[in-house]
Amino acid sequence: MSGGQEAQPVEVVEYTDPLCPWAWGSEPVFRRLRTALDGRVRWRRAYAVLFDDEDDPAPDPAAETAYYAGYVERIGAHTRAPWAARLSRVAASSWPSSLVAAAAELQGADVAERVLRRLRETVFVLGEPADTPEAALAATRGVPGLDPERIRADAASPGMLERVRADRAEARRPVPEVLSVHSGSPHPGTAKGTFEGGYRYALPTLLLRAPSGYRAIPGWRPYAAYATAVEELCPGLLESSAPLSPSEALERHGSLTEPERHLLAEGAWPPSGAVPLQTGNGALWLHPDEASARPAGPPGPAAAL
């Protein structure tokens, strides 16, 4: 978000995970909402750790991968988000990608957005989830403005580990409104039970906080659901602005899915120089600078966190 947001009394908390398929499918509306609220709110991400280190390994990894690939495709049928043509494995852990995503925030909002996007694309575009420190760091190569030595050090620091631990704990203290959700959405966002006997937010969930109260918007929702919640809580807060041109949208975001380019851009597609990257259900569109800067394929070895 742009400078000055710290002084804003309204906070948006996005409970998410870099490797969550519903969060990936929500990126078009979240990108639009962040743009409409830019400079008017403090937007904060809390990493809920969907794939935890405490989870037991699958007895049959190949069968688990095949099942999960089908699960992601079924979600994609609703969200129209890309899925990988071939998924190599189910993510073993969300910790490495969450640590790297959180560490990127120390280098500014633009860097953080690009890094989180790259981490999401490792699993849903490349089919190689960033579930190790090496893979998570490799995914950040070539991000504009990124200091690679700093992100390596920050992601490995005790302070960053405490930050993500705090995010994980916060996500396991959901507000009462999400314990029972009635919605026509295929992913209504009812809080999930945990192994500890408690609950955590379903991903993604947005929590809007203002001096007048709060609103929770869980699960997968259209843009209108978020806009309505913002208007109810803080009338007049959303800014209405003209859509970007295709070239402007691609330059701002670096990569666009088909749902994103329809929601965020207006005009003839594709813009000059756009590079299509084929997935299992269509193209991911890359700005030429992003196409030349990003890793060419599945991440290779990198220095450990």
Bridge partner list, 231: none
**DSSP per residue, 204-231:** SEEEEEETTEEEEEESS--HHHHHHHHH
Please name which of 66, 204, 170 lies closest in space to residue 127, comparing C-alpha atoms. Answer: 66
Each residue's pLDDT tens digit, 31-72: 999 999 999 999 999 999 999 987 777 789 999 999 999 999
Residue 299 has a pLDDT of: 39
Task: Please give the pLDDT value at position 57.
Answer: 77
* Rounded CA separation 73/219 (Å): 17
**Residue 102: predicted pLDDT:** 98
Predicted local distance difference test score (pLDDT) of residue 2: 41
Rounded CA separation 212/192 (Å): 28
Q: Is the peptide bond before 204 cis (omega within 30 degrees of 0)?
A: yes
Amino acid type, 159: G
DSSP, collapsed to helix, strand or coil, labels residue 22 as helix
Yes or no: say if 152 and 137 are a contact pair by the CB < 8 Å rule: yes
Please tell me the pTM assigned to this model.
Answer: 0.93
CB-CB neighbours of 6 under 10 Å: 7
Which regions of the chain are under pLDDT 70?
1-8, 296-305
All residues at 6 or more sequence positions from 12 whose CB lies less than 8 Å from its CB, including other chains: 37, 41, 42, 43, 44, 206, 207, 208, 209
| Predicted pLDDT at 197 | 93
Q: Which residue has tokens 């280190």? A: 53
